[in-house]
Amino acid sequence: MREVLPPVRGRIERDVELARRTWLRVGGPARFLFVPADLDDLREFLRSRPPELPVLPLGLASNVLVRDGGIDGVVVRLSGPLAEVRVEDDVVVAGGGASDRRVALAAAEAGLSGFEFMVGIPGSIGGAVRMNAGCYGGETADRLLWAEALDPRGELHRLSRDELGFSYRHSELPPGWIVVRAAFRLAAGDPRRIRARMEEIREARARSQPLQVATGGSTFKNPPGAKAWELVDRAGCRGLVRGRAMVSEKHCNFLINLGGARAAELEELGEEVRRRVFERCGVWLEWEIERLGLPAREAVA
């Protein structure tokens, strides 16, 4: 390992199984897993690493499908100082590794409104910025002031909301950039109403989503003027099974690992759903789950 990677102050592990770290409970190993000690550790690593070695940030992996062959590169997990949350007047500043739920709770504790929806997103701030995560009437872009990200050379950039070019479940953040911090301006609110709204969102998720099984969250983006789940249902895909992968009967825009599924089965099932929706409704659904890594035949050596 020392022959390939530069020295770090954080932790590096080799051949780390990712299945137990993803919500879908599938996926092959990462060649390396790097947990940097702090921002400077990550910057120096990016500056010094072999340029041909891919680096991929991976947060809580709630909306990710890691393929069976794993990830032939360095997976970066942000924690410690890179996951801190602090409140400054009406602004919440959060590290890229901070969970969305933790940021929502910190805002509520400070009597700040506008981030209640984040309690319904089981991801991290870095991923929320990259994909403009949202639910229950709110989006990350709504409150963002700026985000700081490292480019592949380790240079730090501060980007405004406009520079990030947000749209539905999308930002213009360049590939390979790692969000390390973001700031959000919220509004003063009644703490009781804030907590009540957060509880409403928790209850709505529990009623409508398969939270007690291995799933990856919303599988497909809503196409313009339609709901993905309605199209999936209309195409007769509710409860559709391939191997140990299944389209949820509770919410048919969720794929479920019934236990022992391979990533390939989940991806193939998703593609079958896309095909049937196109044949029935004339719409090609776009994946919302991010699919990463190599198929089994190209597994990490």
31, 218, 262, 267: the catalytic one is: 218
Claim to verify: residue 105 and residue 131 sit in the same structural domain? yes
Claim to verify: residue 75 and residue 176 sit in the same structural domain? no
CA 97, CA 120: separation in Å to the nearest integer? Answer: 17
Residue 31 near residue 50 (C-beta atoms within 8 A) = no
Write down which residue in 79, 107, 123 finishes a domain. Answer: 79
pLDDT (0 to 100) of residue 279: 98
pLDDT in tens, the chain (301 residues): 555 789 999 999 999 999 999 999 999 999 999 999 999 999 999 999 998 999 999 999 999 999 999 999 999 999 999 999 999 999 999 999 999 999 999 999 999 999 999 999 999 999 999 999 999 999 999 999 999 999 999 999 999 999 999 999 999 999 999 999 999 999 999 999 999 999 999 999 999 999 889 999 999 999 999 999 999 999 999 999 999 999 999 999 999 999 999 999 999 999 999 999 999 999 999 999 999 999 987 777 6
Claim to verify: residue 127 and residue 189 sit in the same structural domain? yes
Write down which residue in 35, 61, 79 finishes a domain. Answer: 79
Write down which residue in 58, 79, 100 finishes a domain. Answer: 79
161, 169, 274, 276: the catalytic one is: 169
Which H helix or E strand runs over 17?
A: strand 11-17
Query: What residues contact residue 252 under an 8 Å CB cut-off, 6+ apart?
Result: 229, 232, 233, 237, 238, 239
Claim to verify: residue 74 and residue 97 sit in the same structural domain? no
Q: How many domains does the chain have?
A: 3
- Quote the Cα angle for 265-269-275, to 5°: 145
CA 45, CA 36: separation in Å to the nearest integer? Answer: 9
Claim to verify: residue 71 and residue 115 sit in the same structural domain? no
pLDDT (0 to 100) of residue 202: 94
Claim to verify: residue 188 and residue 90 sit in the same structural domain? yes
265 is catalytic: no
The three state secondary structure string of 113-132 is ECCHHHHHCCCEHHHHHHHC
Claim to verify: residue 171 and residue 215 sit in the same structural domain? no
CA 128, CA 138: separation in Å to the nearest integer? Answer: 12
pLDDT (0 to 100) of residue 1: 53
pLDDT (0 to 100) of residue 299: 74
pLDDT (0 to 100) of residue 3: 59
Claim to verify: residue 47 and residue 115 sit in the same structural domain? no
Can you list the positions of beta strands (E) in 117-276? 134-135, 138-139, 144-150, 156-160, 178-185, 187-188, 214-218, 241-242, 245-247, 254-257
**Would you say residue 3 lies in a domain?**
no
pLDDT (0 to 100) of residue 300: 75
**Would you say residue 199 lies in a domain?**
no
17 is catalytic: no
Domain that holds residue 31: 11-79
Claim to verify: residue 154 and residue 165 sit in the same structural domain? yes
**Would you say residue 42 lies in a domain?**
yes
**Would you say residue 4 lies in a domain?**
no
Claim to verify: residue 74 and residue 113 sit in the same structural domain? no
116, 265, 267, 288: the catalytic one is: 288
208 is catalytic: no
- Quote the Cα angle for 296-298-300, to 5°: 90
**Would you say residue 22 lies in a domain?**
yes
**Would you say residue 204 lies in a domain?**
no
Distances (CA, A) of 99 to 82, 91, 260: 11, 17, 27
Tokens describing residue 142: 């709504």
